[in-house]
Amino acid sequence: MRKKIFSKKADAEAVTEGRDLSGKNIVITGINSGIGHETMRVLALRGAHIIACARSMEKAQKACDSITGKTTPVVCELSDMASVKNCAETIQALNIPVDVIICNAGIMALPKPQVKDGLELQFLTNHMGHFLLVYLLQEQLKAANKARIVMLSSAGHMAASKRGIDFDNLDAAKSYGAWQFYGQAKLANLLTAIAFNRHLGDAGVTANAIHPGVINTNLARDVGGLVGIAMKTAPVKRLLDMSIAKSIPQGASTSCFVATHPSLDGIGGRYFANNAEAKPTKLGRDEELAEKLWAYSVDYLAPYIKAA
């Protein structure tokens, strides 16, 4: 474990204080709200050019207009692989290197199984959409100096099944649990960081995964049942805030730290939480499972990859 530099309560501005990101091009998904918006705001404040990805141009443009700094709004609907491919092509057409990709957007704990293009929606959106985006932007990452990939995973990866990724039930046809499938998708994000770090490491590109913390954002909008109802009530929100929850600026800090701090030059394949390296589950360190997921993902995305 690396020595801790910042406290777990440090916010995004604190962990980037003194950073000059002028000339850096940073791709961020899910910039229209929550920690994605705060990550964009702070990194733009430090001088970075933000390629701001949201589900619609209206949302992307509105978010860009709300902050100070250089931004380029781009459409990226992560549950639509054609949209992700178009997003990658739009970024490629800018003819610039990509210094950082922060895969921030996601959906959480859908109360009922939703299936699209043969995959359960959380796995499709949180994992496949981000995998394709990064895969298609490999050359832009290689063109940068010490490019970084930051995958937002979660401590929720611990909720995945004992097998980690249930390759024979990715469409939820056999069974479904909201939190188990969320955990599976977040484990996939963690394993994807390990795999990209291995595949791109020789080109000077590093990839890490992070847990941003428990944050009261609209990520919980889809959570159903009593848990979902409780999370949206004022008393529970106050209880979370007083105990384990972080503010949005604090929640964005680990993303910003891992994306920009010079102490992490050349550091990849790790998992971070509270602005420091953390220890994931055994499955979250399984390189063989990471490679199996890589192979599955490349095969599933073949129509979009081969046509790229």
Output the six-digit token pair for 167. 């390759």
Q: How far apart are CA 52 and CA 71, in angstroms?
A: 7
Say if 118 falls within a structural domain: yes
Say if 114 falls within a structural domain: yes
Sorted by sequence, the CB contacts under 8 Å of residue 16 that are 6+ apart come out as 42, 43, 46, 256, 257, 260, 261
Over residues 79-92, mean pLDDT: 98
User: With bands split at pLDDT 50, 70 and 90, how would you rate the model's confidence at 216?
Assistant: low
Confidence (pLDDT) at 257: 98
Beta strand segments in 219-292, E: 271-273, 276-278
Confidence (pLDDT) at 219: 52
SS (H, E, C) 193-222: HHHHHHHHHHHCCEEEEEECCCECCHHHHH
Say if 239 falls within a structural domain: no
Q: How far apart are CA 129 and CA 241, in angstroms?
A: 31
Q: How far apart are CA 292 and CA 153, in angstroms?
A: 18
Q: Count other Cβ atoms within 10 Å, centred on residue 211.
A: 20
> 222-236 pLDDT, tens per residue?
544 444 444 444 444
Over residues 35-48, mean pLDDT: 98
Lowest mean pLDDT among 25-29, 160-164, 218-222: 218-222
- CATH number, domain with residue 26: 3.40.50.720
Confidence (pLDDT) at 231: 43
> 92-128 pLDDT, tens per residue?
999 999 999 999 999 999 999 999 999 999 999 999 9
Say if 122 falls within a structural domain: yes
Tally of domains in the chain: 1
Length of the chain: 308
Q: Give the strand order in the sheet containing 271-273.
A: 71-75, 49-54, 25-29, 100-103, 148-152, 206-211, 271-273, 276-278
Angle made by CA atoms 75, 80, 81, in degrees to the nearest 5: 95
pLDDT at 163 over 90: yes
The domain of 285 spans: 12-219+248-297
Confidence (pLDDT) at 244: 57
Say if 7 falls within a structural domain: no
Say if 160 falls within a structural domain: yes
Say if 179 falls within a structural domain: yes
Q: How far apart are CA 195 and CA 292, in angstroms?
A: 9
Over residues 41-56, mean pLDDT: 98
Confidence (pLDDT) at 116: 98
Question: Which residues are identified as catalytic?
Answer: 176
pLDDT at 262 over 80: yes
User: With bands split at pLDDT 50, 70 and 90, how would you rate the model's confidence at 245?
Assistant: confident
Say if 29 falls within a structural domain: yes
Confidence (pLDDT) at 215: 84
Round the average pLDDT of the chain to a whole number and report it.
92
Confidence (pLDDT) at 4: 80
Confidence (pLDDT) at 217: 57
User: With bands split at pLDDT 50, 70 and 90, how would you rate the model's confidence at 240?
Assistant: very low
